[in-house]
Structure 1
Amino acid sequence: MSTQSTPITSSQEQSGAPIKIRGAIETRSIDYVPESERHGKVWQQGPFWFLGNFQFFTIAIGFLGPTLGLSLGYSVLAGALGIVFGTFFMAFHATQGAKLGLPQMIQSRAQFGYRGVVVVLFASLFTFLAFNVVDAILVDDGLNGIFGWNKTVVGLAITIVAAILAIYGHDWLHVVFRVLFVVSLPFYVILTIGIMTGHAGGSAPPPAANGGLTLVGFMSMFTAAAAYNITYAPYVSDYSRYLPRNTRSLPIIAAVFGGAAASAIWLIAIGAWLSSRLGADDGLVALRDAGNNMVHGLGTLLAILSVLALVATMGLNAYSGMLSAVTGVDSVRPIKPTRRARVITIVVLSVIWAVIGIGFGGNVLDALSTALIYMLYLLVPWTAVNLVDFFAVRRGHYAITDLFTPHGIYGAWGSRGLISYAVGLITMLPFAVLPAYPKYTGFLAAKLDGVDYSIAVGLIVSGALYWLLCRTLDLSAEVPAIARSEQELRREDVPTVEHA
């Protein structure tokens, strides 16, 4: 008798109806993607994640360095190092989607338990909503500054577009991201050439106002940049789970790393230049001005493309937010992962971020940096536990069907994962520094000249503790369950033939 309480495949597949994904509203959500439906290509991950950072949210992160007193060069260096560090952890999650055919947070049930995963789902859902709140603020303010458009109308319009994109789902997101990547890339190349040749305007500030190097400023910029891509970690498997199961790990990790890191480093550098050389305080307006300094209309086109990319990314956030929310509900009360559940969840999340984003009236840079820091603190212990489990403990071997029941080998509450997450989070607090909402400096951070080292502490403590606690884990006892799961998946993976 099967122990699963939630179907591993959608109700459409179970009914024997032909499954259509490409070109239509996606039917799958938190359920397993059978091998017969795996149609993704590894190369698609590169432009997908490149475009995910190829918008003016990333440019706004570049503004942080100069506002913290860093020179242009040190702002770019701190941002680049932070992105490389953060993307390293993000990219390794990509292989999990292809290997398991599951959304990221369903796989986390192996570490935290069927019900225990709700604890970390709070962190992931907060991340998705916080990104969309900040995105909405940035778009509202930017389009109001350029065209004078009403912020409320803009906020509602971009929310509707992002929600529709999320409702259509995985394949539509990939297609839209690739199209925007191809269209946007040449114009950013032109802008970059203009910046390097002096045709984009701007001038070096006087030496007294040029900024320099402070450890606090450098580490704050590093942390914000690292947080930017580490906070993508709960997303990655969501968009690689349609890849064939035999996809090799290194190519997919490299594709995700290259795409996500290259665009982020590039636009953070542009953002730092716009802030330090143009004296800008709004990324979208500054992008418009720099482009128009070169060719009339170029800047306006760049601004529009950047908005489109950011709205597409809001769809990405809404889609992954839906997966986290449905996983959370299912962990408390099992539900069928139907198309209707997907749509309702996306609509509810859209209303939440729209209300908060449109109604927020604070400083945009403060909101951005604070949101990134909160996301970082909540997700660092999780990513450490998740990666250690996948690569060092279970080494990619899971009983997938047991992830859909509280009575399987992973249980309802994963004490090892929950303890490691909690201890990691607690040990980060003395090293943490919050710039605003509220302001906070841990007592050890204060003794270290106000520098935030919590990210390293969280990764090391949570990862090491989980590895130690798993030394008593009897992996041999999981082998029969894995074999049983594979047999069940093979029975489920029978494609339905649609006759004309």
Structure 2
Amino acid sequence: MSDQHHDKRSVDIEKDSALRSDSPAHEVPTIASPTVGHSWASFPLAKKLLSWGVEARGTVPVPLEERTETHFSKIFFVWFSMNFNILSFSTGTLGPAAFGLDLTASCLVILFFNMLCCALPAYLSTWGPRTGMRQMIHSRYSFGYYGIIIPAILNLIGLCGFNILNCILGGQALSSVSPNGDMSWSVGIVIIGVISLLISFCGFKVLTWYERVAWFPVLVTFIIALGVGGKHLGNPPAAVPATAVTVLGFASTIAGFVITYSAMASDFSNYFEPDVSRTKIFFYSYLGYLIPIIPLECLGAACAIAAPSVPSWNAGYANGNVGGLLEAILSPLGNFGKFLTVLLSLSVTGNIAATLYSICFNFQVCLPVLARVPRYVFSIVGTAIALPLSIVGAHRFYSALTDFLSLIGYWASAYGAVLLIEHHYFRRGDFSTYNINDWNVPRRLPWGAGLLAGVLAFGLIIPSMNQVWFIGPIGALTGDIGFEIAFPLAAVLYVPLRHLELKYQKIE
């Protein structure tokens, strides 16, 4: 009986779709909505930017004729360069610095939880070519036109938070190599922010080109740093034995670092041809996460453990100054070491630029009326938000990083569960059941069962937290298992809520 009920609900979705299930997902009507509002397109500056190839498209789905990309290396290098930077290195340092884990425990947590959590954003990247939709626009088909606004706000906060952390790290590194510390952290932060803005402003083509080349000098620098400082990493000091609380706390931080990419996954794949191999998109994306993240986080953990036994490293690492630690590691190379530190500081620009690119779409989802404003305007807005907050928070980096990464993993885990249940249980993995022309028609989108499932899930997520600022009764016994609880609980809650929604909502 339950299978028949499920079949009926799945059939209802297909009936309500303007696209028949026997029609390939990429054979969709041309999207009628303009890329940019006519009032904006009439400005001479807007016309000039378009003639230069600056991407103006925001949340409007990419039509079939523009989905022509076939180079899988582009999606690989977007994720690779985004994560091959000093933010990944600094996240690894949290294992020993914030949770007191030894090198073995830190590396095992880094390996296992990255392999687990990177699978979700890599899989969601495969949806972009089939629908041409941005990630948050696709999410409207699970959360609803208005229901997705709350996840979009949370995602916007998360993306801006990542940019703030990256600006702080880049600014610290630039400041550490200035003569006598003449350059303040604030100046370094502004330099990093402006460079990232220029890349993001231009759009997808310039962004993917930059990501394909930005990783190489960073790779060379980290190899040299490992060669120079590797002799100090062989015999780390003894650490306090790991406990469930510390292991799960660090795991929550690792999850917060990668699982939040789920909310921007298809933003970088929706220009690919609709019939490209989904398997290749998945593995190119998955490896784009794992290859840079795991080694750099493990290196960060090793350097943080070794720092107290190396006076110059310990001095550079004072007050959680990761840029100062890297400069101290490279200091035996003299001026060449300072040059390499500058390269490391610039490594965060690839992450900031790509994040700014996705920030644009989240602004437009939060306030749909902004969909007619050119995408690049919001790159400027995102930078204007990040720079002052980076300057204010620069001297509280470690506490900010730990609290931020631990917190954002909760909602992203529930968000991913709702998307997967909607796609595989209710739509049976059939992309033709997504009527692309309904992307901005509220009455033809769900009421918001996905949002309700996520909100209700927090009834058990909150007691399962174990943070500096809050410890729930379950979390006190087990350690932080909030994000582990969020995924299955949101999935279970969404099924009956979505059934009720399909029963009572009449799609016009």
Range of TM-score over shorter length? 0.7 to 0.9
* Structure 2 partner of 1:371: 404
Amino acid at match of 2:326: L
What do the CA deviations read for 1:432-455 (whole angstroms, capped 9, x no partner)? Answer: 1222xxx1001111233xx00111
Give yes or no for contact 1:83–1:226 (8 Å, CA) kept in 2: yes
In 1, distance between residues paired with 2:337 and 2:112?
28
Give yes or no for contact 1:381–1:458 (8 Å, CA) kept in 2: yes
Structure 2 residues without counterparts, runs of 5 or longer: 1-17, 19-28, 309-316
Which one of the candidate residues 311, 334, 337 is aligned to 2:372?
337
Question: How far did residue 49 of structure 1 move?
Answer: 0.7
| Distance of aligned partners of 1:216 and 1:336 in 2 relative to their CA distance in 1, 3 Å threshold | closer
The structure with the largest helix share of the pair is 2
Give yes or no for contact 1:112–1:417 (8 Å, CA) kept in 2: yes
Amino acid at match of 2:438: D
Alignment partner of 1:325 is 2:358: no
* Structure 2 partner of 1:289: 328
* Structure 2 partner of 1:277: 306
Amino acid at match of 1:111: S
* Structure 1 partner of 2:204: 170
What do the CA deviations read for 1:112-133 (whole angstroms, capped 9, x no partner)? Answer: 1111211111111111111112
Which one of the candidate residues 389, 409, 422 is aligned to 2:422?
389
Alignment partner of 1:83 is 2:114: yes
In 2, distance between residues paired with 1:214 and 1:187?
35
| Distance of aligned partners of 1:467 and 1:304 in 2 relative to their CA distance in 1, 3 Å threshold | farther
Give yes or no for contact 2:126–2:282 (8 Å, CA) kept in 1: yes
In 2, distance between residues paired with 1:20 and 1:361?
34
* Structure 1 partner of 2:13: none
In 2, distance between residues paired with 1:335 and 1:366?
34
Amino acid at match of 1:153: V
Question: How far did residue 63 of structure 1 move?
Answer: 1.1
Question: How far did residue 154 of structure 1 move?
Answer: 2.0
Give yes or no for contact 1:424–1:461 (8 Å, CA) kept in 2: yes
In 2, distance between residues paired with 1:168 and 1:222?
36
What do the CA deviations read for 1:27-64 (whole angstroms, capped 9, x no partner)? Answer: 21111112222233222211221111111111111111
Amino acid at match of 1:59: F
Amino acid at match of 2:67: R
Give yes or no for contact 1:54–1:306 (8 Å, CA) kept in 2: no
What do the CA deviations read for 1:218-251 (whole angstroms, capped 9, x no partner)? Answer: 2112211121110111121111111111122211
* Structure 1 partner of 2:10: none
The more displaced of 349-358 and 177-186 is 177-186
Give yes or no for contact 1:87–1:260 (8 Å, CA) kept in 2: yes
* Structure 2 partner of 1:53: 83
Q: How do 1:249-268 and structure 2 match up within 5 A? A: 249-268=278-297
Alignment partner of 1:447 is 2:485: no
* Structure 2 partner of 1:490: none
Other structure's SS at 1:119 match: helix
| Distance of aligned partners of 1:265 and 1:297 in 2 relative to their CA distance in 1, 3 Å threshold | farther
In 2, distance between residues paired with 1:22 and 1:38?
20
Which one of the candidate residues 187, 200, 208 is aligned to 1:153?
187
Structure 1 residues without counterparts, runs of 5 or longer: 482-500
Question: How far did residue 103 of structure 1 move?
Answer: 0.9
What do the CA deviations read for 1:374-432 (whole angstroms, capped 9, x no partner)? Answer: 21123221111112222332223301111111122x14x32x21221111223200001
In 1, distance between residues paired with 2:47 and 2:192?
33
In 1, distance between residues paired with 2:292 and 2:394?
29
Other structure's SS at 2:248 match: helix
TM-score of the two chains, using structure 2 as the length reference: 0.82
* Structure 2 partner of 1:485: none
Amino acid at match of 2:173: G
Amino acid at match of 1:233: S
Matched positions, count: 457
Which one of the candidate residues 329, 344, 349 is aligned to 1:311?
349
Give yes or no for contact 2:58–2:371 (8 Å, CA) kept in 1: no
In 2, distance between residues paired with 1:350 and 1:432?
32
Give yes or no for contact 2:84–2:347 (8 Å, CA) kept in 1: yes
Which one of the candidate residues 453, 469, 472 is aligned to 1:420?
453
